[in-house]
Amino acid sequence: MGFEYHLRGKTFDRQAALLFLRQRFVLAGSTESVMRVALTQPGTDNWRVTTKPDWPSVLLAFEPDGFYFCDNRTSPVESALIFKQLVDFLLSTNDEVRIAEL
């Protein structure tokens, strides 16, 4: 298991979040609420990302007011970049974001 966090804002649009995730990241093995997430890799067929030995970089789940985030401890730099983009997304519609480590 990796480091786990709740990322929360007062307003959370699940559909906008899903669109954001699909535009920014590689998603695989996902359902409507739980996803395996990695950064896209320029010059690579991104489906190949899911065959990397350190896949997935992050497990992500929707919560009513934000995201559950687990970094899996496989790629700290990639996980940190994903985390930052999720916080930036939440800050685009919220004045503040609450982060709680589990």
* Residue range 30-61, pLDDT digits in tens: 566 788 888 887 766 666 666 666 667 799 99
35 in any annotated domain: yes
CA distance 65 to 68: 10
90 in any annotated domain: yes
pLDDT at residue 51, as a whole number: 67
Query: Model's pTM, two decimal places?
Result: 0.86
49 in any annotated domain: yes
Q: Tell me which residue range forms the domain holding 9.
A: 4-54+68-101
Checking if the pLDDT of 16 tops 70, the result is yes
Checking if the pLDDT of 81 tops 80, the result is yes
Residue pair 27/36 in contact by the 8 Å Cβ criterion: yes
62 in any annotated domain: no
